[in-house]
Chain A
């Protein structure tokens, strides 16, 4: 059970900040002293790439975790919400809008789609008392259908955002980074910390945590659970859209990009403890680091493989995740 007494943010912020700083210092120390072109000299670059990838994954993972926290349903169509953001932003920037504005449109469209799904699909299904298994298969069917609608409408080829395609990179301490990379990371940090602030410090955020903690109690205390769940769906989908734009900016936009990253998002959410939004951030950073650091000793196409392997190991030794509580996951 998520716990309100356990003031979120207080325990996690130092952990994330401290851990990241320590790793960066280690990376710098190793990278600065290592001979050229050895595995160690590539370490700082992999570290920075890992943090960037982790931050992108976090925008998707936090949304998924919020939705799970309040509805207890894992949304297998979350990857398609990520893709939606990327595709909508691509479309609007291709007709001449600046990317930031196109991204904003994409977030609004994402939130709108999420809200529509809640109102048109999930709320009526909850009213019918549809079982958990059915809900999971329904979200899977939705994912399958929507993903292939993207394929039909958007086409099978990958497309890149026209802005920021080629940039000169800065080189420092053995790390090369483009302004675009920095922009991705800063945006992700701002969005993630803004979300964390909202969850922890606003009335609607408090209501979300109350519903996640004990739905009946929240309802009895006068919280409109329906409204909270609607807000969570819109917020989670909007966050996923941000993740999609950042992911598209980092690489390219394609019809199955969200589904390709979905497993990594799941891994992040489980690693951090299902339903814990701050856990999702920790989990995402950990998964991002695992996948990028794996490139130091194994071929890059196996990045995702290592991330998924990490998920299996975590499930084996600590199924409740890094921050999760034990009784939330076990059923016996």
Chain B
């Protein structure tokens, strides 16, 4: 029972909420516009550090830091998109992955330490956010499934943002803009011959989904009251992909369902691995401190492969919607 309650706590908590938000943005890129963004984590880094640097380093109020975050995310999306969206799909994949890594390396370097806090990052920049918390001090929940008032506050804000983003994507998909984006996913040539600008739609999609990613990063920074560069490894993007694909590619609400499912499964799996390690039935070497955390990545890796091979449209997706890059 404890395992399931732990899993439920993870699946509803701030982490799932922020992954849902990042995944909604990724779904806009991948599911709606057919752009393979392998560097959503770069946007999350920009979002998290936008808040942290704005408040901690520059001493700005939270709302100003929030504006900085959005401006930075838009700038980052343009920087990435303008050189690459005209190129074959794989160039965007490589560039976004590379740019995310480049950002992490830059932010953890000694030379930027005065602004970014180097390897250790920045802390305690979200006090203003928690002062706004309208929920009375205490613990809330049913039975063993309880959250503190602070966690609950972050959770609510995170999920409200994720739902709002999904609602926006849902509305957009029904608009003329969304129809053009979907046709880009299906066949760019057709869109181009209809006289629409593929490049500008793709850039707009990259910017919008990227800002959602930055929002996820901001929620991450606020929920932990700390940012460190090594939280933004490429694997974060692949977790978001897993959420998108689990929930159904190209479905507006898919990423929300997917993120909840994803963190539920990961939490149950981690508990299972720990239980297996405790039985002592397997060699200890396979459950060293390093190894214990590695199993979930193996699961996600093989899980992504299996989903892409057998159900590329995701668990709840529509097969006819989703045979991408099949030219």
Partners in one complex: yes
Task: Collect the chain A residues with CB atoms within 8 Å of residue B267's CB.
Answer: none
Q: Which of B245, B295, B305 has the most CB of A within 10 A?
A: B305
Q: Residues of A at under 8 Å CB distance from B?
A: 74, 76, 125, 128-138, 140-149, 151-153, 155-156, 263, 266-267, 270, 298-299, 301-302, 304-305, 308-309, 311-312, 315-316, 319, 329-332
Cβ-closest chain B residue relative to A319: B87
**Beyond A305-B106, A315-B91, A329-B91: 20 further Cβ-contacts under 8 Å?**
A130-B308, A134-B325, A137-B241, A141-B238, A141-B301, A141-B308, A145-B297, A148-B295, A153-B286, A156-B289, A263-B101, A299-B110, A301-B110, A302-B109, A304-B105, A305-B102, A312-B95, A316-B83, A319-B83, A331-B88
* Complex contacts, B308 vs chain A, CB 8 Å: 130, 134, 137-138, 141
How far does the Cβ of A38 sit from chain B's closest Cβ, in whole Å?
Answer: 20
Cβ-neighbour of A143 out of B241, B286, B301 (below 8 A): B301
The residue in chain A whose Cβ has the minimal distance to the Cβ of B108 is: A301
Q: How far is the CB of A271 from chain B (nearest CB, A)?
A: 12
Contact residues of B between 75 and 104, Cβ < 8 Å to A: 79, 82-84, 86-91, 93-95, 97-99, 101-102
Chain B 281-304 near chain A by CB (<8 Å), digits 1 or 0: 000011011110011011011111
The reply to whether B91 and A270 contact each other, CB–CB distance below 8 Å, is: yes
List 29 A-B pairs, Cβ < 8 Å: A130-B312, A133-B36, A133-B325, A134-B324, A136-B325, A137-B241, A137-B308, A138-B305, A138-B309, A141-B238, A141-B303, A145-B298, A145-B301, A145-B305, A147-B297, A148-B295, A148-B301, A152-B291, A263-B101, A298-B111, A299-B111, A304-B102, A305-B102, A305-B106, A312-B98, A329-B87, A330-B87, A332-B86, A332-B188
Cα distance, A311 to B99, chains bound together (Å): 10
Residues of B within 8 A of A132 (CB): 89-90, 324-327
Take A74-B90, A332-B192 as given contacts and tell me if A315 and B83 are in contact as well, using a CB distance cutoff of 8 Å. yes
Q: Is the CB of B294 within 8 A of A152?
A: yes
Distance from B208 Cβ to chain A, minimum over Cβ atoms (Å): 20
Chain B interface size, under 10 / 10 to 19 / 20 to 34 / 35 or more: 35 or more
Q: Which residue of B lies closest to A301 (CB)?
A: B109
Contact residues in B for A144 (Cβ distance below 8 Å): 235, 238, 297-298, 300-301, 304
Which residue from chain A places its CB closest to the CB of B296 in the assembled complex?
A148
Q: Is the CB of B38 closer than 8 A to any CB of chain A?
A: yes
Cβ-closest chain B residue relative to A140: B238
CB under 8 Å from chain A, chain B span 195-243: 198, 235, 238, 241
- Set A140, A270, A302: member contacting B38, Cβ < 8 A: A140
Q: A134-B325, A263-B101 are in contact. Are A152 and B295 (CB under 8 A)?
A: yes
The reply to whether the CB of B323 lies closer than 8 angstroms to some CB of chain A is yes
B105 engages A305 (CB within 8 Å) = yes
Q: Decide: A299 and B297 in contact? CB cutoff 8 A.
A: no
Q: Which residues of B contact A140 (CB under 8 A)?
A: 38, 238, 241, 304
**A130, A138, A155, A263: the one within 8 Å of B98 (CB):** A263
Chain A residues with Cβ below 8 Å from B86 are: 319, 330-332
**Distance in Å: Cβ of A262 to nearest Cβ of chain B:** 9
A19 to B102, CA, bound (A): 28
Contact between A267 and B305, CB atoms less than 8 A apart: no
CA distance A76 to B245 in the complex (A): 19
With beta carbons under 8 angstroms apart, the residue of A146, A149, A299, A315 that contacts B84 is: A315
